[in-house]
Amino acid sequence: MTERQAFGLLVRVLGVVLVIDGLKQLWLLFMRLFVPAYVFHYPLYQDFAYTLLELVLGSMLARSPGWAIRLAWPEESRSSS
């Protein structure tokens, strides 16, 4: 396994962790509807934005990590000799 493949695996694992945490946040967001608002530190729209960001970014990293890998390991330009 090369360094690039190992990094790809780590990116996918991070994506799965973000999706799992996003699902947990989605559950907490749903449960928040049944608790008075003064209990929470952040407003509802901010928690919703955080949950959405985690789910979208996590699914992008888990399903197609190629763009993140290219950020870390850019393709070498091929010179025409």
pLDDT in tens, 20-72: 999 999 998 898 888 887 787 888 889 899 999 999 999 999 999 888 888 88
- Given a cut of 70, is residue 77 above it in pLDDT? no
The amino acid at 50: Y
**Ordered alpha helix ranges (H), 1-81:** 3-31, 44-63, 66-72
Q: Is 12 exposed, middle or buried (0-12, 13-18, 19+ CB in 10 A)?
A: middle
Residue 40 makes CB contacts below 8 A (sequence gap 6+) with 32, 47
pTM assigned to the model? 0.81
